[in-house]
Chains A and B, each alone.
Chain A
Amino acid sequence: MFKNKVLLFLSVLFSIGLPITVQAMKPRPPLQLALSAVDLSEDKTQITLSATANTGNEGVELSLELPLGLLLLEGERTWAGPLNLGDTHTLVLIVQNDGTRTYTILAEAKVRLPNAGHFIQERPLVLNPSALDRSPLAPPIRQRSGGDSILEFRGN
């Protein structure tokens, strides 16, 4: 009964011609890659690569390249298979990381194209970045001017 009322309400909305909201989004690559790291202990770090399909892909190859000096303790560095629209596949690695050096890990995804060839995507991740890279932006000071709120950020 409630569902019918909701459907009727929506039908009325559309029939009276309320403006339809359309979001024209920026182009996406075939996969949305996310690469992150979490420290599990003083010398162990978990690396997670997630690949979410923005379009149906019949042949996907994922791989994580570890630099020299970063020892793999657990997990598989590669995977291959299909990914339907909206599906996600995740690779999880545990590496030895004492935090004394900066490492760059590279995730690569290859998507097989219908007419042969591959679309290649890369995503780097820096482990143990320097302190300068982590400094946050000072929040703005809020002021009023006329009817507007103004967020003042320090310049120069």
Chain B
Amino acid sequence: MIEVSPNPVNLEVGGKPVQLLAILKNESGDTVPDATFVWESEDATLVSVDANGLATGLKVGVTRVTARSNTFSGSTTLGVVSPNKGASALTISGHAAYEDKVFGRTGFTGEIKNLAIPNAVIELVAIDGFVKIATGATNAFGDFKISGNNASRRGGLYLRVLSTVEPNHPVKLEIRNNPDDRAMHAFTSAGIDDSAADPFTQSSELLAKTKGIGGGFNILDALQKAATFVRDAGPCPEPNPDCNLPLLTAYWEPGGTRGTFFRTPENAIFICGGGDSEDCRAFDPDEYDDSVIIHEFGHFVLSRFSKDRSPGGLHSLIENDQDIRLSWSEGWANFFSSAVRNSPLYVDTSSGGVLISFNLEDYSTFPNSSLNTLARYTTSEIAVSGVLWDTLDPFEPATEIDPLTLSFKDIFQVVINFPAVSTTSTMESFWLSFQLTQSAKLGALQIVTQDRDMRFEHDTFEENETALIVNDATRQRHTLFQNHFAFDEDIIPFKVNKGVAYTVSTSHLTNGTDTHLSIKEQNGVWVKENDNHNNLIHTSCTNNFITGQSNCPRNGPTDLSSSASFTWNGENGATLNAHVKSSPVAPPSAGQFGSYDIRLTSP
């Protein structure tokens, strides 16, 4: 490594040059003798440096001079000041903005828009001694006005805009580089020579570029929009009727390798910055992916105002047998992202195109696929997102097949009411809470959910069960559903003959069903019982402590099905009952309701 001194250092415009000194050290920290260095100024309009490291100040501002030797380098910060004293009455006003990258269904369009940086901390720094002399904030439109006194120092200032919402604002957000260093980001103005006049006023237009730290300020802006969106959807339960959220820290840095996820209990979002790791890929930075950033904020909102029991971890768009808690959490987050941005498009860009691009309105993806047939059941995050979007649908009027156009406030009130109706947090909880808070529209919600094969209804056999017929090719289809999380039990009769072997089995389980099957005589005497056909019990399934992945079973058609085989050895033939209900030892990944087929077979 190379150490350069002095660091930092001030020099005056046109004043005495400063001799910089570089020392090359080996891994043990010992000085390597006779090393030669190549000196370079990062901004030769501010500081010039000769081949021997003699630095001369040319113009007020801050830059860096680097010494290189082979593959090693070290640098020092040089602040060039005026030889005259600074102004006693300073007023710097202006506008702070960042370059935003516009995206569409196929990725970034190439268009760059300058957007205001609202409500961010802005500081006025005296270059002489690198001292902060005033603090202010941009307003909701990115405008600022900051005053100070620099008369005790040589003239020379710069502005820096910090990646944090100003402390008096009700929204609490900050962007830091990583959880180990926890440095805040900022972008700076060019140098300002305030020795030219007293009082001194100047207007400055500040811009964070896409090639610089613009992405960090896009994250700040996207999160602010999301937080404000939530505040406008109140009231929230006491003692927080304004729906204020605690401080959220987003960790991101150019080249960052951790992300993209929201992590409890730290209240932190980690965002990929274009570095390569197991988490992130170099072609997939997320600092300009508003869909992704606000999706993660949606998890934060759920964790604070409702419940979130999702096990988290890896999940994919094309799954419809997910953990029912995860499909709710991810479905909500996808929907929340679209609601805040007022767009059914979710786009995760990557270099040259997209990683994922889908449309909640019609389930199409780019390029040229459709998830319409796959987006089914309460155990599909895309189906959950689509149902929630259909309850909102701000663009389209109500139709026969899409009859709801609620406000986000209405939907948010349903979600924050979860704790009153449910110990968990799933699409089933949404149904039950909707029943209480929007009861007049329940029929319309049923049309929307049925479109995605989510069955919150009694089956056609409920009032009058039809007997099973042995080896009938047509399976009976039932739902397990009751209002208010009461338990449904289907009692289905079937005839048996003496000495004959039978199997009653459930299959084609959907919507998170976990069946428990008991065979009983008409007088209630127990014949046979089965919970899971493979006799495994998953009640205590949880996340693997090391990998973080859930080890709960999936909600596929047969993962939690039941099968009971027996030979009827009674005196005569008889009529038995198959009792089917939700399993009392269901894993936390299964639902309470759902649908199943039942069949009676005999060899």
Residues of chain A whose beta carbon lies under 8 Å from any beta carbon of chain B: 10, 19-30, 32, 34-35, 54-55, 104, 111, 113-120, 122-126, 135, 137-138, 140-143, 145, 148-156
| CB closest chain-A residue, reference B355 | A29
Q: Kindly supply a per-residue 1/0 record for chain B positions 99-143, scoring 1 wherever the CB is within 8 Å of any chain A CB and 0 otherwise.
A: 000000000000000000000000101000010100000000000
> Top 6 closest A-B pairs, CB basis?
A155-B187, A149-B183, A124-B352, A153-B213, A55-B316, A22-B312
| CB closest chain-B residue, reference A54 | B316
Contact flag A120-B369 (CB < 8 Å), given A19-B264, A26-B296: yes
Task: Specify which chain A residues have a CB less than 8 angstroms from the CB of B123 in the assembled complex.
Answer: 145
A148 to chain B, nearest CB (A): 5
Q: How far is the CA of A24 from the CA of B266 in the complex (A)?
A: 12
A82 to chain B, nearest CB (A): 15
A119 touches B186 (CB 8 A): no
B404 to chain A, nearest CB (A): 24
A103 to chain B, nearest CB (A): 13
Q: Does B379 sit at the interface, judged by CB under 8 A? A: no
B183 touches A119 (CB 8 A): no
Contact flag A149-B182 (CB < 8 Å), given A10-B545, A26-B261, A119-B318: yes
Contact of B334 among A27, A54, A138, A156 (CB under 8 A): A27
B261 touches A23 (CB 8 A): yes
B350 touches A123 (CB 8 A): yes
Residues of chain B whose beta carbon lies under 8 Å from any beta carbon of chain A: 42, 62, 64, 77, 123, 125, 130, 132, 160-162, 177, 181-190, 205-209, 211-213, 253-254, 260-266, 281, 283, 286, 292, 295-296, 299, 308, 310-319, 329-330, 333-334, 346, 348, 350-353, 355-356, 365, 367-371, 373-374, 381, 543, 545, 548
Contact of A24 among B64, B190, B312 (CB under 8 A): B312
Task: Specify which chain B residues have a CB less than 8 angstroms from the CB of A54 in the assembled complex.
Answer: 314, 316
A26 touches B292 (CB 8 A): yes
Given contacts A55-B314, A113-B373, A153-B186, list 7 more A-B pairs with CB under 8 A. A21-B266, A22-B308, A29-B355, A32-B281, A143-B125, A150-B162, A155-B212
Q: How far is the CA of A119 from the CA of B318 in the complex (A)?
A: 8
A137 to chain B, nearest CB (A): 5
Task: Specify which chain B residues have a CB less than 8 angstroms from the CB of A19 in the assembled complex.
Answer: 264-265
- The 28 listed contacts between A and B (C-beta, < 8 Å) are A22-B312, A23-B261, A23-B262, A24-B308, A24-B329, A25-B312, A25-B313, A26-B286, A26-B348, A27-B317, A27-B348, A28-B317, A30-B317, A55-B316, A104-B352, A120-B365, A122-B353, A123-B283, A123-B350, A124-B352, A135-B211, A148-B183, A149-B182, A150-B162, A151-B184, A154-B187, A156-B206, A156-B209
B333 touches A24 (CB 8 A): yes
| CB closest chain-A residue, reference B312 | A22
Q: How far is the CA of A116 from the CA of B188 in the complex (A)?
A: 54
Contact of B356 among A27, A116, A152 (CB under 8 A): A27
